[in-house]
Structure 1
């Protein structure tokens, strides 16, 4: 129930719908009981048992409420029908129909208002989850499969709606229906009602034993669903590689194993769940059968109960079965909902280690330099950077070179605060970046990565991510700086052309130039280029490199370079090996030293 309480917090903004639902459920429960009680006078008319009363009866207390109700109905039938029994029958039939109509109208209104609450909570949880997903650090998702996260925000949230929020419909209506029905049953026959309630707890205990393992089984189903969604997501992302290596059957077998496990888990879960309904129904009918036997004795042998009241009583007893079954099924839903809520709340309650301090400042300009002071960082156990020091003065271009795994991209991740340092500090203008709000810090930075991250949208909207509400002129100007305007105008719809999923309708060079245009539009004082030309052919590299040089003019740039020919004009080149600086200087100075940098240049020249 702890998860249930946490989910219920999201219902607070919609509490007015909850109160309206409760109000109409109370009326529904009341009229549900009265509609069966109204069968008694109708049956009495049919059996010709109606007493002729010319004066209204007097109410003599709750103990004789049934007699008062019967006498009052007999009085009304006498007044209305006189000597014509059909008139009396029409009156009581009309009463029964009116009560059943009101019962169903109130039921509809109760469901109408709860719909807004259920769907509102569903919407708010999804919005909160998406907000949390984009807020959590990148490190969080390096440990989780994307398909599993997608499963949590889709099917798990839907399961919460179907299970937990369905209970909100039952939590008032069904118990009140049972309560009002029992009250009427007591008024008809105390002895018979006490007899019934000897058997109901026994039936309830038998039903409850069925659902004990549902949460565990449901948890397996949901986890496996996340697993095969991850496989689908990875397959779509790597379809070219899968086809190129003829690995379709291998991936299909992986997916098939996952769906087979899902098949077995789902069968086990649903079979256990489906057992509840027939078991509950049989036990309910068993109680009804015993009731017929015992009630029949009261009518036929003892004569303490009239036939019409007994038939109405049987209707009331059966009326308890439906809400009792609904409550029984709801208990299974809670167990399923618990598993889903646990997975959803795991994300919602995840702590973000990279949070703004309460005293964090807004920084809107860059004046002097970026400093990395005694920085040490590790992703898991081993340090990638250790006691690392670097200064990037304003207006300078500093290039980082070195073998793969030396820590170059890690520096970009730390300066942008995608990760936090384990030791030391990174300062901008002397301010530790932990003391600057994340939004204003990243507002100072532009980022162009090796993988051009584009979205399934138009060229205009992809470039426009760089600046909110950018004008047409600003977008075109940025595209021209990035050497992208000419190829954009050759696209079918120019700037309004949709570039497909991840920009797959474009070449690698075109995608990279759009990424550069986006960074140019942002116009930040500090630019971080993470191997921005390493994946390009020679012609594309020339165009992209020209765009980068134009973009870096009069700007502070931190360049992570794979192709050393692209950074020969940098103010400082820093050679990194195993998280430490081996040497630094200009291209000419490092070539004269004849150490690691010269070897890297010669290796690349030789490979060309």
Structure 2
């Protein structure tokens, strides 16, 4: 139950619904018992076994409540029969029984009515918390976790936890109270018969408990498998061009089918164990009922120590225990599954986020002087990417980082924006360490254009508005013009209100990249980071994007990570990197004159 205790904070906003559910469940349990007890006087009237009482009984205390209630009921039945006849008495008894059953079912409905708000509220808040945590976690978390597995936890596992909450309230309130009230009534009718019943109940409970073993372990494996095949779906749809282009449909189909086959086998095993719980508990219950019929029958027919009407009601009460017992049995299996799901949910919610604001972090809204990178060392797991890296970028400068793939260029962009944190050394903005700044403040100072043009399945307008939520249409159009994008946007049927499709797939690579630049232009940050913004484009698109980038970088501090050296000739400083270290730096002309690594890179790209 430890995982469920961690879910309790999500219940607190809806605790009034929990209290109302408990209140009506108590009433349901009480009236469920009364519905069977009310049959005793009815049957006594039918079989003419009612004791004749002409004087109203006197209440003598709680310890004689049973005899008082019996005498009072006998007195009422005797009075009504004498005044109005036996038919009126029967009608009166029928009205009482119907009223009790009506109230019992009304209380059951109200209990379910209020728990619906609790369950759906917990579901909503847990999903919101998981989504919030997911987008706050550092990028390194998602290099280790499958995205499909995270999606599975937010959708399937949270839903399983929500379903289990109903089971918990049934397990600790509704069904146990029904059993308790029923047992109290059974003791009131016959202590001897009830003690006889309790000899068999522990045996039944032990047999039923054997079924539940291993359920949590198998449920965890099933939920992990669900994450695997959801990941396969997500990756396959994302890379559909590659799948089709390499005729790999069969391969990925086999991968998916193997996963769903494993899920099929686990689900069958879990489902069959759960399905076994109900018939086994019912069979054990009927066995107890059969023993009752034999023993109780002797008490009625042979020993004459129990009335026939009371025994029939007693049998109804005994059977009344079976339904909540079966529900508890099912609920216990549901909780095992829910516990496995809660474990996976809490793994995300309790995941440590080592990139977050310090308690005394402060805001900074302007960039005045320089960016300083001092003696940075950084590794992805055991792979050293940067070694004693130092760099100074003054306000208004354009500094380009060049080098072969794997030299650590993009890592600089990730560290400047705190997508990752430096392990050794410091990064400062205006002599203030970036770890001392609020993340929102730091990222508000920077604009980022990456090699992958990330657009969302929405309109051009809403994609650009991410740069500035309250921008006007005129500001959006101005940003599009600076980014050389308005020339194609204005020709679209709906203009800036055109939907770009999933990941912008209705647009070309160059068009998507220019929209990404327009988004950064609209944000208008003092520091711009361009991470190989043109490397994935054809020559014509690159030319248009390059003009857009030059427009954007005017009067701005820019750090340009470039693969194509033709894009950074005008940079104030070019830093040449090799295996995480700076091997050369200077202007384009200075580096060519050195006849070193930079010149070799230029020659390899056939650029003079």
- TM-score band by shorter chain is over 0.9
SS across alignment from 1:448: strand
Find the aligned partners of 1:70 and 1:37 in 2 and give their Cα distance: 11
Q: Which residue of 2 aligns with 1:489?
A: 490
Trace 1:196-595 onto structure 2 (pairs within 5 A): 196-595=197-596
1:433-481 Cα deviation digits (max 9, x unpaired): 0111110000000000000000000000000000121111111111111
Rounded Cα–Cα distance in structure 2 between residues aligned with 1:23 and 1:63 = 26
User: Is 1:66–1:188's contact at 8 Å kept on the other side of the alignment?
Assistant: no
For the Cα contact (< 8 Å) 2:402–2:577, is it kept in 1? yes
Deviation at 1:61, TM superposition (A): 4.2
Equivalent residue number for residue 37 of structure 1 = 37
CA distances 1:230-277 after superposition (whole Å, capped 9, x unpaired)? 000000000001000000000001001101111111111111111111
Deviation at 1:399, TM superposition (A): 0.3
Shift in Å, 1:64: 4.2
Matches of 1:117 and 1:287, distance apart in 2: 37
Deviation at 1:63, TM superposition (A): 4.8
What is the CA deviation profile of residues 312-337 of structure 1, one whole-angstrom value per residue up to 9, with x for unaligned ones?
01111111111111111111111111
What does 1:2-41 align with in structure 2 at a 5 Å threshold? 2-41=2-41
Deviations 1:385-444 (A, max 9, x none): 010011111000000000000000000000000000110000110011011111000000
TM-score of the superposed pair, with normalisation by structure 2: 0.98
Contact preservation (8 Å) 2:119, 2:165:
no
Give the Å deviation of 1:166: 2.6
* Cα shift at 1:359: 1.4
Cα distance per residue 1:261-297 (max 9 Å; x no partner): 1111111111111111111010010011111111111
> Where does structure 2 lack aligned partners over 5 or more consecutive residues?
none
Q: Give the deviation of 1:489 after TM superposition.
A: 1.3
Note if contact 2:375-2:389 (Cα within 8 Å) is conserved in structure 1.
Answer: yes
The 8 Å contact of residues 218 and 266 in structure 2, kept in 1 or not, is answered as yes
Superposition RMSD on alpha carbons, in Å? 1.1
Q: Offset at 1:62?
A: 4.3
Which SS does the other structure have where 2:606 is aligned?
helix
Whether the 8 Å contact between 1:111 and 1:169 is mirrored in structure 2 is no
Q: Which 10-residue stretch deviates more, 409-418 or 195-204?
A: 195-204
Residue by residue, what CA displacement relative to the aligned partner does 1:328-360 show, whole Å, maximum 9, x if unpaired? 111111111111001000000001011211111
Other structure's SS at 1:584 match: strand
Contact 1:235 1:242 in 2 (8 A): yes
Cα distance in 1 for residues equivalent to 2:289 and 2:61: 30
SS of the residue 1:356 aligns to: coil
1:53 shift after superposition: 2.2
Secondary structure class of the residue paired with 1:14: helix
Q: Distance in 1 between matches of 2:250 and 2:278?
A: 41
Q: For 1:56-75, what per-residue CA distance to the aligned partner results, in whole angstroms no more than 9, with x for missing partners? A: 12234445433322222222
Structure 1 residue 175, shift from structure 2 partner? 1.1
- More displaced 10-residue stretch of structure 1: 245-254 or 58-67: 58-67
- SS of the aligned residue for 1:559 comes to strand
Secondary structure of residue in 1 paired with 2:457: coil
CA-to-aligned-CA distance 1:493-535 (integer Å, 9 cap, x gap): 1111111000000000000000000000000000000000111
What SS does the aligned partner of 1:465 have? helix
State how many pairs are aligned: 607
Aligned-partner Cα distance in 2 for 1:142–1:468: 30
TM superposition score normalised by structure 1: 0.98
Contact 1:398 1:572 in 2 (8 A): yes
Residue pair 1:27, 1:103 contacting (<8 A) in 2 also: yes
Q: Residues 62-101 of structure 1: matches in 2 within 5 Å?
A: 62-82=62-82, 84-101=85-102
Partners of 1:174 and 1:59 lie apart in 2 by 32
